[in-house]
Amino acid sequence: MKRILLPLAALFFLAAQAPAQTATAPASVIHVVTVKWKPDATAAQIQAALDGVKKLPEQFPGVTRVWTKSIKVQGGKANAIVMEFKDEAQLKAYADSPAQKEWYKLYTPIRAESTTFDITN
């Protein structure tokens, strides 16, 4: 009987924890971009691109927050840019949106390469 009760108790404990974890897990999506700039990109161009991405929450309501101050970046990249989207649907809606196209006018001409990660729960 004890052999059955212990696994059942563990199962009930885990089942009780699942709703609590789901209730606190955000639906937002974190969009992380690490960037290596072109060698001829000027400091002014880079700053304009970083300032431009900071304006996205005003231009696209699906973007809730933007971070641009890189404290540590590895792998030969120069900056990391983080955008938080309300949810996955907003991330998808952002692709090819007027706000993205406007920011890309500043960003893509000076970007040598980038790596992107989209993260959610």
Count of structural domains, the chain: 1
Q: How far is CA 87 from CA 19, 31, 78, in A?
A: 19, 11, 28
At 68, the amino acid letter reads T
Q: What are the tens digits of pLDDT across the range 30-78? A: 999 999 999 999 999 999 999 999 999 999 999 999 999 999 988 889 9
The answer on pLDDT for 84 being more than 50 is yes
Distance CA 97, CA 18 (A): 36
Per-residue model confidence (pLDDT) at position 118 = 98
Q: Is 60 part of any domain?
A: yes
Task: Give the lowest-confidence range in 17-26, 27-36, 54-63, 77-86.
Answer: 17-26
**Residues 53, 80 contacting (CB under 8 angstroms):** no
| Whole-structure pTM value | 0.79
Residues contacting residue 115 through CB under 8 Å, at least 6 positions apart: 33, 34, 75, 77
Q: Is 92 part of any domain?
A: yes
Per-residue model confidence (pLDDT) at position 19 = 57
Q: Is 79 part of any domain?
A: yes
Q: Is 69 part of any domain?
A: yes
The answer on pLDDT for 6 being more than 80 is no
- Domain holding 113, by residue range, is 25-119
Q: Is 71 part of any domain?
A: yes
Q: Is 80 part of any domain?
A: yes
CA neighbours closer than 13 Å in the CB half-sphere of residue 84: 9
Question: Which CATH number fits the domain that encloses residue 50?
Answer: 3.30.70.100
The answer on pLDDT for 9 being more than 80 is no
Q: Is 8 part of any domain?
A: no
